[in-house]
């Protein structure tokens, strides 16, 4: 499979498949394709896997697209201004994504639910108790909000992240939360009460424009009902 990403801040990933190659997508992710791409809707692992995907922010059923009778083409466009990032997944390089980041992947890539080890991290960390984990072998495409900044953390090295800005991390990283110090800072600082702390070793991808932040800004300008 060959691919290219176009579109700048409104990206689309265009994949060129050899005959017989397959792509797995969330329902509704396909934007355009060649006429020889055959679609099959599946639970892709049974009802348990389907429910797990629903908990992690995806749809229960997935679509498998196969290039039949020769090379095929399929494209996946972003649903929000931001970035589409490709990841090479191997047994030694598993990834954890924010909810709803998954766009599409090769057939050898598996997506599952990633639970936070600490309930407090899930409840107050701002990223939710459930995230997405990708494993297996192959390329997967993830959609992030805004521009993406990357950091490589050494063993024990930490970075403090505001709510919603964590886009992805290698599975070797760990997450925790810490409260903002000082009652005045909590009440009037405008940064919330908790921050997410990511600890290495591993790689971290941070997004500049979380959709939740955009929704909060737009809410101020929406008319209220009487």
What residue numbers bound the domain in which 107 lies?
2-219
Residues 6 or more apart whose Cβ sits within 8 Å of residue 55? 113, 130
Task: Please give the backbone phi and psi of residue 223, each rounded to the nearest 5 degrees, phi first.
Answer: -65, 145
- Per DSSP, the residues of 122-182 read HHHSSS-SEEEEEEESEEEEEEEES-EEEEEEPTT-EEEE-TT-EEEEETT-EEEEEEPSS
Mean pLDDT value across residues 42-51: 58
- In this predicted model, what pLDDT tens digit does every residue of 56-114 receive, in sequence order? 445 567 899 999 999 999 999 998 899 999 999 999 999 999 888 999 999 999 888 76
CATH of the domain at 77: 3.60.160.10
pTM of the model: 0.81
Model confidence at 46: pLDDT above 60: no
Residue 62: inside a domain: yes
Beta strands in the chain (DSSP E): 2-6, 12-17, 22-26, 30-33, 37-42, 62-67, 72-77, 82-89, 95-97, 102-106, 109-115, 130-136, 138-145, 148-153, 158-161, 166-170, 174-179, 194-199, 202-207
- Higher pLDDT: 222 or 104? It is 104
Predicted pLDDT of residue 116? 57
Distance (Å, whole) CA 115 – CA 122: 8
Residue 224: inside a domain: no
Residue 155: inside a domain: yes
For residues 198 and 173, the answer to whether their CB atoms sit within 8 Å is yes
For residues 203 and 154, the answer to whether their CB atoms sit within 8 Å is no
Residue 166: inside a domain: yes
Model confidence at 49: pLDDT above 70: no
Model confidence at 34: pLDDT above 80: yes
Residue 68: inside a domain: yes
Q: Which of 38, 1, 32, 36 minimizes the C-alpha distance to 16?
A: 1
- In this predicted model, what pLDDT tens digit does every residue of 129-149 receive, in sequence order? 568 899 999 999 999 999 999
Model confidence at 26: pLDDT above 80: yes
Highest mean pLDDT pick, 44-48, 108-112, 118-122, 181-185: 108-112
- In this predicted model, what pLDDT tens digit does every residue of 162-213 receive, in sequence order? 878 999 999 999 988 776 655 444 444 445 567 889 999 999 999 999 887 7
Residue 168: inside a domain: yes
Predicted pLDDT of residue 146? 93
For residues 77 and 140, the answer to whether their CB atoms sit within 8 Å is no
Distance (Å, whole) CA 226 – CA 210: 30
Distance (Å, whole) CA 127 – CA 91: 25
Residue 175: inside a domain: yes
Residue 225: inside a domain: no
Overall domain count for the chain: 1
């Amino acid at each position: 499979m060959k691919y290219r990403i176009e579109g700048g801040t409104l990206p689309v990933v265009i994949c060129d498949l050899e005959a017989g190659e397959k792509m797995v997508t969330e329902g509704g992710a396909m934007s355009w394709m060649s006429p020889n791409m055959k679609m099959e809707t599946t639970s892709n692992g049974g009802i348990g896997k389907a429910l797990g995907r629903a908990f992690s922010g995806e749809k229960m059923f997935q679509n498998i697209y196969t290039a039949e009778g020769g090379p095929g083409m399929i494209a996946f466009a972003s649903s929000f201004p931001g970035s589409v990032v490709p990841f090479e997944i191997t047994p030694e390089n598993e990834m954890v994504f924010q909810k709803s980041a998954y766009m599409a992947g090769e057939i050898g890539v598996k997506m599952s639910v990633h639970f936070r080890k600490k309930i407090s991290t899930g409840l107050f960390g701002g990223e939710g108790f459930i995230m997405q984990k990708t494993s297996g072998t192959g390329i997967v495409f993830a959609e992030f909000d805004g521009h993406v900044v990357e950091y490589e953390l050494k063993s024990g090295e930490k970075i403090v992240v505001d709510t919603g800005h964590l886009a992805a991390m290698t599975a070797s990283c760990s997450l925790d939360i810490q409260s903002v110090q000082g009652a005045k800072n909590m009440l009037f600082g405008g940064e919330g009460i908790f921050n997410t702390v990511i600890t290495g070793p591993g790689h971290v991808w941070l997004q500049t424009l979380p959709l939740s932040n955009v929704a909060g800004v737009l809410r101020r300008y929406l008319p209220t009902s009487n």
